[in-house]
Amino acid sequence: MKISIISDTHFGYGWESRRQEDTFIQAQEAFENSRNCDLILLGGDIFDERTPKPEVWSKALKVLSIALMAPKSKVTLIDSNVKNKISPIIFSGIPVVAIHGTHERRSKSFVNPIQLLEKMGYLIHLHGTYAIFEKNGGRVAIHGMSGVPERFAPEVFNKLNFKPIPNAYNILVLHQSIGGYVYSDDEESVLKLSDLPVGFDLIIDGHIHWYKETKQKNLVFPGSTVMTQMRKVESEVPKGFLKVDTETKKIEFIRLKSARKFFFKEFNINDLSSNQINEKIAHEIQNILRNSFDREPIVRFVLKGEKDFELDLKHLNRLYGDKIIIKVNKKLKIAKRNLQYLSEFKKNRKSITEIGKEILENNLSKTFKEKINFDFYDFFELLAKEKLDESFNLLMEDLEVKNDNEN
Ligand SMILES: [Mn+2]
* 191, β-bridge pairs: 178
Domain boundaries, the chain: 2-255, 262-348, 352-406
Helix (H) or strand (E) holding 324: none
Q: How confident is the model at residue 344 (pLDDT cuts 50, 70, 90)?
A: low
With a CB cutoff of 8 Å and minimum separation 6, the contacts of 316 are: 278, 281, 282, 285, 326
Range 309-326 average pLDDT: 93
Per-residue pLDDT at 286? 97
Q: Cα separation of 303 and 343, whole Å?
A: 14
Give the distance (Å) from ligand 1 centre to CA of residue 195.
22
Q: What is the dihedral of CA 112, 165, 211, 304, to 10 degrees?
A: 70
pLDDT digits (tens, 9 = 90+) for 241-254: 999 999 999 999 99
Residue type, 266: E
User: Ligand 1 mean position to 300 CA, how many Å?
Assistant: 20
Protein residues with C-beta less than 5 angstroms from the ion ligand 1: 8, 45
* Distance from the alpha carbon of residue 86 to the mean position of ligand 1, in angstroms: 25
Q: How far is the CA of 183 from the centre of ligand 1 (A)?
A: 8
Centre of ligand 1 to C-alpha 208, Å, is: 6
375-391 tens-digit pLDDT: 677 777 778 777 777 77
Residue 164 has pLDDT above 80, yes or no: yes
Q: How far apart are CA 361 and CA 354, in angstroms?
A: 10
Q: Which of 29-43, 112-126, 230-244, 319-333 has the lowest mean pLDDT?
A: 319-333
Residue 207 pLDDT? 94
Report yes or no: 182 and 192 within 8 Å, Cβ to Cβ.
no
The answer, yes or no, to whether residue 407 has pLDDT greater than 50, is no
Q: How far apart are CA 138 and CA 147, in angstroms?
A: 29
Residue 263 has a pLDDT of 97
Nearest-angstrom CA–CA distance, 407 and 398 = 14
Domain 2-255 falls under CATH 3.60.21.10: yes
Phi-psi region for residue 125, left (φ > 0), alpha (ψ -120 to 50) or beta? beta
Compute the distance from residue 44 Cα to the ligand 1 centre, in Å: 7
Q: Using CA of residue 313, residue 268, residue 330, residue 18, what is the dihedral sign? A: positive
Please, which pLDDT band fits residue 400 given cuts at 50, 70 and 90? low
How far is ligand 1, taken at its centre, from the CA of residue 218, in Å? 21
